[in-house]
Amino acid sequence: MLIITNKQIRMFDEYMLRQFAERIIKYLKNHFVQNVSKFENEELISLIVRAINKAKQYQLSTEWDICRFAQYQFLCGENFEQKTSGEWAIKILKNANLSEKTKMDRMDYHYFYFVAK
C-alpha cells in the first residue's frame, strides 16, 4: 500500500503553485515586459503567489482569470484594488452577481478604456 504523508502533499502543493506562478511569469514577460523586467525571478514568484492567493479571495479560480488578476498587480501595483484609485476594481471584484470571467472582462474593459488612457 502506498502512503502519502501530509508533508508530501504540502510539498506537492508548493511545487504546483510554483509551476503555476512560473506560467504566469512567462505570460507577463511576453506581454508586459517593462512592468516585470525590474524584478528578479524569485521576487516575481513571491509577488505572483500573493496575487494567486488574493485572487481566490475574489472567487477567481481558473488559471486564465487568476493570470489576468495577477497582471493588474503589475500594471496598477500590488493591492491596487484596496487603494482609492482602485475603487473601480474592488466594486467589480466583490460583485457576487458576476461570474469570474465577467469580473475579469469588466476589469479589462475598465482598465484599458479608462485607467490606461
pTM value > 0.85: yes
Kindly report which listed range (16-25, 27-36, 62-71, 92-101) carries the lowest average pLDDT score.
27-36
Q: Residue 11: in which H helix or E strand, if any?
A: helix 6-31
Greater confidence, 99 or 37? 99
Predicted pLDDT of residue 95: 97
- For 18-27, the CB contacts below 8 A with 24+ separation are 18/45, 18/49, 20/52, 20/63, 20/66, 21/45, 21/48, 21/49, 21/52, 23/63, 23/67, 24/48, 24/51, 24/52, 24/66, 24/67, 24/70, 27/67, 27/71
User: What's the rounded mean pLDDT across residues 1-5?
Assistant: 90
Cβ atoms within 10 Å, residue 105: 15
Q: For 51-95, how does the pLDDT look when each residue is reduced to its tens digit (9 = 90+)?
A: 999 999 999 999 999 999 999 998 899 999 999 888 999 999 999
pLDDT at 117 over 80: no
Per-residue pLDDT at 74: 86
Report the pLDDT value the prediction gives residue 22, as an integer from 0 to 100: 95
Residue 116 has a pLDDT of 81
For residue 110, pLDDT beyond 90: yes
